Amino acid sequence: MNVLVVEDEAYAAERLIGQIKEYDESIDILDVVESVEEATDFINANQSDIDLAFMDIQLADGKSFEIFREVEFFKPIIFTTAFDEFALDAFKLNSIDYLLKPIKYDDLKLALDKLSRINPKNQASIPSALL
Number of helices and strands (H, E) in the chain? 5, 7
CATH architecture, range 2-130: 3-Layer(aba) Sandwich (3.40)
So where are the chain's domains? 2-130
Taking a C-beta distance cutoff of 8 angstroms, is the pair 47, 23 a contact? Answer: no
Report pLDDT digits (tens) over 69-103.
Answer: 999 999 999 999 988 776 767 667 778 999 999 99
Of the pLDDT bands very low, low, confident and very high (cuts 50, 70, 90), residue 128 is very low
Taking a C-beta distance cutoff of 8 angstroms, is the pair 78, 111 a contact? Answer: yes
Taking a C-beta distance cutoff of 8 angstroms, is the pair 131, 117 a contact? Answer: yes
Residue type, 29: I
Report pLDDT digits (tens) over 49-77.
Answer: 999 999 999 999 999 999 999 999 999 99
As beta bridge partners, residue 100 has 81
Report pLDDT digits (tens) over 18-39.
Answer: 999 999 999 999 999 999 999 9
Is the whole-model pTM more than 0.85? yes
